[in-house]
Structure 1
Amino acid sequence: MCPQLKAIGLPDLQEFQALFKQNWPEYCQEYYCLDNFIEFLKKQPQVKHLKVYTLDTKQARDEGIFVIVDRYQLFVGGLNNTNGLVQKTLDLVDWSTGLKCSSIPYRHIEALNSVIESKALKLVFRSPTDLFYMKAKDALQLKVEPPAGFVLRSLSVADAPLVNEEWPNHHLGSLFFIERQIRMCISVGLYREDTQELVAWCIRLQGGYLGALQVKACHKRRGFGSVVTREISYRLAAQGHDVMALVGPTNKPSHEMFSKLGFQVIDQCEWLRTEPIHGEFTWPDGE
């Protein structure tokens, strides 16, 4: 009998997450991806348009094989790809509406590519990124005081439209995504003390990475990107988390900043998006 997808929930994710502690930080991508979605489900047990699967085999559970489809984003993980289990899992996913394959660990790219080829899926884009990593004990040393005339605090949902508008990757449906990340995850904003203008920010994304790191154009070249990166890294470390960030290989300013702060590149991850199979698909407003 061919293996089939099996929907799993919070207890399964917690069981799977424990598997990825071995050989640390080899599987930190999977560990922190699951960590984030575990927290999502604790805060909001019925997250709309969130589906989590494994295969209905003992080997798949033993290896922690999982696929998360969060609206239009796909995350995949597993200790190994024994007998092509990662590929088999991805092959059973519904690709009809197009999916943004997000922060895919490099060791799973071959399996993903095989599925894309076998299904003749067309790509909108493909983008490799370097995985920057820092241990929590080192990130605790990054605590920073805000520059004179500015304050650091968590973002509010009211900040989401600005964050989304300034985000180079914004797209239809991304405002909902930014709002949810601000509600559910650690974030940091740097605000002018007098006017409360938000000038720089960073958010922890679903995969557990630092993301949406941005400084308003009129405030660039003042070190504000480093300020919010240091602060959010410290906040994550204070909760016991190591810190990860994904940076494109051509993004030299971010490469230099993370390297200067003491992060190290330990792996690569891939981002790609497939086209919908049956014409354009858009998410309804508010979803």
Structure 2
Amino acid sequence: MSKLQSIDIQVLGDFQSLYGKKWPKYSQEYYILRNVIVFSKVEPQLKHINAYTLADQRAKELGLFLILDRYQLFVGCLGYSLELLEQALHQLDWNRGILCSSIPSRYLASVLKVIQAKGLTIEYNHESNLYHLSAEDALQLPIDCPTGFKLKSLSEEDAYLIDQAWPYSQEGSLFFLQRQIRLCPSMGLYDEQTHKLVAWCTRTQDGLLAALQVDNKYKRRGFGSLVVKTLSQDIAALGDDVIAEIYPKNKASSNLFSKLGFQVIDQCYWINTAPATGKFTWPEGQ
């Protein structure tokens, strides 16, 4: 069996080019690789982001990677046979608990097979639809900010409010929100008189729109759509397509993105495994 080995930025760049083919099928893999490269260059002092592949030429030809961002796991592997991906997953240390994040449907069976073989407990397993909008179409979205409000990028200070309001807030989520606001495009709508943040949306490390929310007092005024359109244009201006993930039961968000021209291209899964022993602990240090 080939051994798991760390990979550097140069190899990640080589892998990224592989995932640029058959667009947008492998857009998630492309963007997580691209963002890890950017993060490493912009803030080389960042800790606890590790990338792995197998010491096997076939693995490199398939762009096989595991990226562990503290406790979040992202995976990628081209080709129809995922035997090598399973080999790599088996060698990963699952003892502290792992959140398999936005796993494309093509990898689901392999991930679940390894989790079952290791006798791990799944705390939750959620399916999301992946919505896609081309950069060209995103640039055509109309932006009409109402009088008395201002659109601008979020600040790291906003992360505290966003984390408190976010239904999925947990240990470490504030750190992730702060980092994403610092290193990725984001958008907020502010009341010009009170300077209050009333609607917001961020972009995750794998390129997905996330944490879309509107303050309860400002709902049903089209503010969610407004921040999505504005952030989508900012992302498109970078040359990127726009991708969002939405739980199928979230009809309001599904309708919002469909009305803006987004189309479902795949499903992805969030699978959280419990620590083998003890309680989950946030990694020490930054």
Distance 1:46 1:55, change over 3 A: farther
Q: CA offsets, 1:146-176, max 9 Å, x none?
A: 2111001010111110010011100011111
Look up the match of 2:255. Answer: 256
Correspondence list, 1:156-171, <5 A: 156-171=155-170
Look up the match of 1:34. Answer: 33
Look up the match of 1:175. Answer: 174
Structure 1 gap segments, 5+ residues each: none
Look up the match of 1:202. Answer: 201
Q: CA offsets, 1:115-169, max 9 Å, x none?
A: 0110011011100000000110000012513211100101011111001001110
Look up the match of 1:113. Answer: 112
Normalised to the residue count of structure 1, the TM-score between the two structures is 0.97
- Matched residue SS, 1:157: coil
Q: CA offsets, 1:172-230, max 9 Å, x none?
A: 11111111111111100000111110000011001110001111111111111100000
Aligned length: 286
- The answer to whether residue 16 in structure 2 is matched with residue 17 in structure 1 is yes
Structure 2 gap segments, 5+ residues each: none
Distance 1:140 1:265, change over 3 A: same
Distance 1:182 1:286 in 2: 20
Look up the match of 2:213. Answer: 214
Q: CA offsets, 1:81-101, max 9 Å, x none?
A: 536011111111110000110
% identity of equivalent residues: 49
Look up the match of 1:45. Answer: 44
Distance 1:142 1:78 in 2: 34
Contact 1:186 1:203 in 2 (8 A): yes
Contact 1:33 1:206 in 2 (8 A): yes
Distance 2:195 2:204 in 1: 24
- How far the C-alpha of 1:4 sits from its partner, in A, is 0.8
Residue type of the alignment partner of 2:160: P
Look up the match of 1:73. Answer: 72
Distance 1:281 1:83, change over 3 A: closer
Contact 1:187 1:203 in 2 (8 A): yes
- Matched residue SS, 1:211: strand
- How far the C-alpha of 1:284 sits from its partner, in A, is 5.7
Contact 1:176 1:286 in 2 (8 A): no
- Matched residue SS, 2:169: coil
Distance 1:16 1:192, change over 3 A: same
- Matched residue SS, 1:145: coil
Look up the match of 1:144. Answer: 143
Residue type of the alignment partner of 2:26: Y
- Matched residue SS, 1:107: helix
Distance 2:283 2:36 in 1: 22
Contact 1:5 1:55 in 2 (8 A): yes
Moved >6 Å (runs of 4+): none
- Matched residue SS, 2:139: helix
Contact 1:155 1:189 in 2 (8 A): yes
CA-based RMSD of the aligned residues comes to 1.2
Residue type of the alignment partner of 2:153: S
Residue type of the alignment partner of 1:241: D
